[in-house]
Chain A
Amino acid sequence: MSGMMWLVIGVIVFIFAFIIIVYNRLIVLKIRTNEAWAQIDVQLKKRNDLVPNLVETVKGYAAHEKAVFENVTKARAMMQSAGSDVGKVIEANNLLTGALKSLFAVVENYPELKANQNFLNLQMELTGIEEKIAYARQFYNETVRMYNEYQQKFPGVLFAGVFGHTTRNYFEIEESEKKAPQVKF
């Protein structure tokens, strides 16, 4: 009977080791997506901090374009209140990107503004941040893909729910907004 007992013990140890490996893998992937998200968040915050300055500068030349400023301010406020809710942040981001785009479209009508050094600096900074958001988004989506795939495939699918893992949202942007707002000179 002792042979049987050893077999049972062996199987139990094997199953435990197996579960531990899957558990750790899930944790590693989860941490990696969180870190990737944090990198996007940093850039989004930087952009949010830049917006009031930009609005003030543009206002100095085009004070009567109220609708545009309202949209930008609204989107920025939404971004701030979104907190760590990925879905809301994505929505607010798309809104803000769109609002900024119409802001830059308005700027086209004000040649003096386009020559303002302060405005040019802000614009350059914004373009840099937009690029970084795009790169950080690329990495985030890659980590999310790995995390989600592991949760949906065997053996991860057996334990993902038990250990409280859920699939994450990709950070998708609207097709028309894939390019950073660019202003021709």
Chain B
Amino acid sequence: MVYEDIELNKRNTLFLFIFFIIIFIGIGYIIGEIYGDYYTGVLFAFVVSVVSIWTSYYHSDKIVLAIIGANKAERKFYPQLFNSVEGLSLAAGFAKPPEIYIIKDESINALATGRNPEHSAIAVTEGALLKLDKLELEGVIAHEMSHIKNYDILVSSVAAVLVGMIVILCDFITRNLFRTRMRKASARYGLLFILFVLIAAIIAPIAARIISFAVSRQREYMADASAVLLTRYPKGLIGALEKIKKEIYNPDEINRGIQHMYFTTPSYLSDNNLFATHPPIESRIERLSRMLYNQNGQNQL
């Protein structure tokens, strides 16, 4: 049920906040120790983490949209897109449709962000608008709409911003502190402490990344299934996935910090890879085809 999913996502967001505070205070403690005053380090880390959490909750959508360089779409240039989004938002029962953004990118992709259906946005690439027909585009939009409805967007947006913060901070530790202060600190605390710093610098970003994996994979199948409930037309989404499968990707185009938010990731990253944020396209198509089969009692593909 959708309502249980919403509760689960809200709880996961809370866990994410707590996890973030703990990691941040840990890092603050390390930095404080190195500079000889752990109390200030912890206090500073606490304040910074509370501010970051507030920012990630209320402004992650704007941050994510800025990172991917999405621009707000104008109705007069994209009347069809507005129509589809508004129609599907009616089908999903939202009080108001999500805001619409355009990503300057030739590949077919889309993402949704925000904190709840009332504060949400859908961004679509120019490639998707160009290469997909209306029904395929509606399939993709319905998929993103499901992420909004299930509050997947809350967890993934918050994760994107907080994970980004942790990565920046760990970079800071490795770059600045290793060289200048390490010798002094190791003289005082010994090898064990150096190991601790190393763990902070290496494990933290990985752990943070693993959260965003956990957010994704199963959710993608869910969103595909709910999308079909909205459009009542599995073939649209299948068609879009088929077209994406045939695309040639430029690996540099997707920012790794937010790749878990996209509609798909390049296939070389997603195919049976432990660290993939999305299930392979083939198995998504397969599950949708099965739905089509059940819907019609016979295979139409």
What is A's interface to B at a CB cutoff of 8 Å? 32, 35-36, 39, 43, 124, 128, 131-132, 134-136, 138-139, 142-143
Contact B93 A132 (CB under 8 A): no
> Is B91 at the interface (CB under 8 A from chain A)?
yes
Closest 5 CB pairs of A and B: A135-B91, A136-B90, A135-B87, A135-B90, A128-B83
Determine how close the nearest CB of chain A comes to the CB of B129; give it in whole angstroms: 17
> Is B45 at the interface (CB under 8 A from chain A)?
no
Contact B93 A131 (CB under 8 A): no
Contact B92 A139 (CB under 8 A): yes
Interface of A is mostly: helix
> Is B99 at the interface (CB under 8 A from chain A)?
no
> Is B181 at the interface (CB under 8 A from chain A)?
no
What is B's interface to A at a CB cutoff of 8 Å? 79, 83, 86-88, 90-93, 95, 232
B residues near A131, Cβ cutoff 8 Å? 83, 87
B residues near A128, Cβ cutoff 8 Å? 79, 83, 87
Interface of B is mostly: helix
Contact A143 B93 (CB under 8 A): yes
Residue of A nearest to B134 (CB): A131
**Besides A128-B83, A138-B91, 11 new A-B residue pairs in contact (Cβ under 8 A), listed by A number:** A35-B93, A35-B95, A39-B93, A131-B87, A132-B83, A132-B87, A134-B87, A136-B90, A139-B90, A139-B91, A139-B93
Contact A36 B93 (CB under 8 A): yes
State the CA gap A35–B90 with chains docked (Å). 11
Determine how close the nearest CB of chain B comes to the CB of A122; give it in whole angstroms: 13
- 9 A-B pairs within 8 Å (CB atoms) are namely A32-B93, A39-B90, A128-B83, A132-B86, A132-B90, A135-B90, A135-B91, A138-B232, A139-B91
B residues near A136, Cβ cutoff 8 Å? 90-91
State the CA gap A32–B232 with chains docked (Å). 22
State the CA gap A76–B83 with chains docked (Å). 24
Determine how close the nearest CB of chain A comes to the CB of B3; give it in whole angstroms: 11
Determine how close the nearest CB of chain B comes to the CB of A136; give it in whole angstroms: 4
A residues near B91, Cβ cutoff 8 Å? 135-136, 138-139
A residues near B88, Cβ cutoff 8 Å? 135
State the CA gap A39–B92 with chains docked (Å). 11
B residues near A35, Cβ cutoff 8 Å? 93, 95
Determine how close the nearest CB of chain B comes to the CB of A68; give it in whole angstroms: 27
Residue of A nearest to B80 (CB): A128
Contact B79 A124 (CB under 8 A): yes
Q: Which of B88, B93, B95 has the most CB of A within 10 A?
A: B93
A residues near B79, Cβ cutoff 8 Å? 124, 128
State the CA gap A136–B91 with chains docked (Å). 5
A residues near B90, Cβ cutoff 8 Å? 39, 43, 132, 135-136, 139
A residues near B83, Cβ cutoff 8 Å? 128, 131-132
Determine how close the nearest CB of chain A comes to the CB of B4; give it in whole angstroms: 15
State the CA gap A31–B232 with chains docked (Å). 25
State the CA gap A95–B177 with chains docked (Å). 76
